[in-house]
């Protein structure tokens, strides 16, 4: 293993990113100077930042550094798509303790590069420093959008349809599965974790995807949502964000919330309430958005999009309509799942 100190900060950055080529016209100059040079001519610029700390957001006992790099980048991309924009550049800051080697950082970097290549994003800047508390990652993602296409959380209107992509609760169940196997492992030599038949849950937790396809499909249909965000902190929490910032209420229906079969089976094994996990698990990185009622048919034609409820007056509050018709107030419990 190669010690990081043998290369030094700038030598290490050159080693990791010296081969990177930029592809977006808005990236005038990337890694190599004190700052990147970007140019957005007729677009609005979107910027989002994420900070991920070992022991808080991820556990390297079961998260490979390659997956960590990939997921960190995806988290940034997802925030840009949630504004109805497109990510174009990414900057990466890494803090590492002495227990990590150059090869470890190569693995992390490989994950970031793979995500960027897949989503057409340039790595425009990088910084590496020492850390006394393990591995930490700072991601800044820059994107672009037409001024009249940017979607905020504050414009949902009464009678708007509440729509979601994908399914919910799988990432949280994947985390519970990993934590269970970690507890069983306890340093045992030759231990083999039991992941058979649960591959989807692990993929959703370890290597999620950002919903670029949904944003592209909305653009093809010339639909601009009245509000939108990505579900990273839990479906209930994100719905309450829309309600608060748009000054509205909402009703969603239990039977309409999309849940994968593996998620349901895992919830049963853990003796967990399935709908609670789906509403509060977080890290699904799906898109939650609202559209006017008149777009009902067009939304129903979109593959993988489900209408789960509607916006109502603020005085009616935010509720889940259970299968028996009971209205249950939505609460942002938030499991705060780790990366």
- Residue 150 placed within a domain: no
Q: Are residues 125 and 176 in the same domain?
A: no
How far is the C-alpha of 138 from the C-alpha of 302, rounded, in Å? 35
How far is the C-alpha of 75 from the C-alpha of 92, rounded, in Å? 13
CATH of the domain at 323: 3.90.650.10
Q: What's the pLDDT score for residue 264?
A: 97
Q: Are residues 259 and 126 in the same domain?
A: no
- Residue 151 placed within a domain: no
User: Are the CB atoms for 78 and 214 separated by under 8 Å?
Assistant: no
Q: What's the pLDDT score for residue 165?
A: 98
How far is the C-alpha of 102 from the C-alpha of 7, rounded, in Å? 9
Q: What's the pLDDT score for residue 335?
A: 46
**End position of a domain, from candidates 145, 177, 201:** 145
Taking only the tens place, the pLDDT of each residue in 157-205 is 999 999 999 999 999 999 999 998 888 766 565 556 778 889 999 999 9
Residue whose C-alpha is closest to residue 309's, from 153, 166, 163: 163
Sort 104 into a burial class: Cβ within 10 Å, 0-12 / 13-18 / 19+. middle
Domain containing 232 equals 161-329
Q: pTM of the prediction?
A: 0.90
User: Are the CB atoms for 17 and 126 separated by under 8 Å?
Assistant: yes
What is the tally of structural domains in the chain? 2
Q: What's the pLDDT score for residue 40?
A: 80
Q: What's the pLDDT score for residue 121?
A: 97
Q: What's the pLDDT score for residue 338?
A: 42
Strand partners, 286: 231
Residue whose C-alpha is closest to residue 217's, from 81, 88, 48, 60: 81
Q: Are residues 134 and 217 in the same domain?
A: no
How far is the C-alpha of 148 from the C-alpha of 182, rounded, in Å? 48
Q: Are residues 80 and 168 in the same domain?
A: no
Ramachandran region, residue 214 (left: φ > 0; alpha: ψ -120 to 50; beta: rest): alpha
Q: Are residues 119 and 187 in the same domain?
A: no
Q: Are residues 115 and 183 in the same domain?
A: no
Q: Are residues 207 and 271 in the same domain?
A: yes
Q: What's the pLDDT score for residue 38?
A: 74
Q: Are residues 139 and 17 in the same domain?
A: yes
CATH of the domain at 138: 3.30.1330.10
Q: Are residues 169 and 226 in the same domain?
A: yes
Give the chain's length.
339
Average pLDDT per consecutive 10 residues, the chain (339 residues; last block may be shorter):
59 55 68 67 90 93 96 97 96 93 94 97 91 92 95 96 98 94 69 79 97 98 97 96 97 98 95 95 96 97 97 97 95 58
């Amino acid at each position: 293993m190669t010690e990081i100190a043998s290369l030094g900060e700038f030598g290490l950055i050159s080693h990791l990113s010296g081969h990177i080529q930029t592809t977006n016209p808005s990236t005038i100059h990337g890694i190599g100077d004190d700052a990147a040079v970007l140019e957005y001519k007729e677009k609005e610029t979107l910027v989002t930042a994420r900070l991920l700390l070992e022991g808080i957001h991820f556990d390297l006992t079961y998260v490979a550094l390659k997956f960590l790099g990939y997921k960190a980048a995806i988290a940034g991309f997802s925030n840009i798509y949630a504004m109805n924009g497109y990510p174009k550049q990414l900057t990466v800051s890494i803090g590492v303790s002495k227990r990590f080697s150059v090869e470890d950082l190569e693995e992390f970097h490989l994950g970031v590069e793979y995500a960027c290549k897949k989503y057409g994003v340039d790595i425009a800047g990088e910084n590496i420093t020492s850390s006394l508390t393990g591995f930490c990652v700072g991601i800044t993602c820059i994107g672009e959008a037409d001024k009249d296409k940017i979607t905020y959380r504050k414009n949902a209107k009464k009678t708007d349809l509440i729509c979601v992509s994908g399914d919910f609760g799988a990432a949280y169940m994947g985390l519970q599965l990993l934590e269970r196997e970690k507890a069983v492992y306890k340093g045992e030599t030759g231990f083999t974790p039991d992941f058979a038949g649960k591959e989807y849950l692990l993929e959703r937790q370890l290597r999620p995807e950002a919903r670029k396809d949904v944003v592209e499909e909305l653009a093809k249909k010339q639909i601009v949502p009245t509000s939108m965000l990505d579900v990273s902190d839990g479906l209930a929490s994100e719905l309450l964000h829309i309600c608060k910032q748009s000054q509205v209420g909402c009703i969603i229906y239990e039977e309409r919330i999309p849940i994968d079969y593996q998620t349901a089976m895992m919830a049963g094994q853990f003796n967990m309430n399935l709908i609670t996990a789906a509403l509060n698990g977080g890290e699904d990185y799906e898109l939650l958005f609202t559209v006017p009622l008149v777009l009902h048919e067009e939304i129903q034609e979109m593959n993988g999009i489900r209408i789960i409820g509607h916006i109502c007056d603020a005085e009616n509050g935010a509720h889940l309509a259970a299968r028996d018709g009971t209205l249950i107030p939505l609460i942002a419990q938030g499991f705060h799942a780790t990366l």
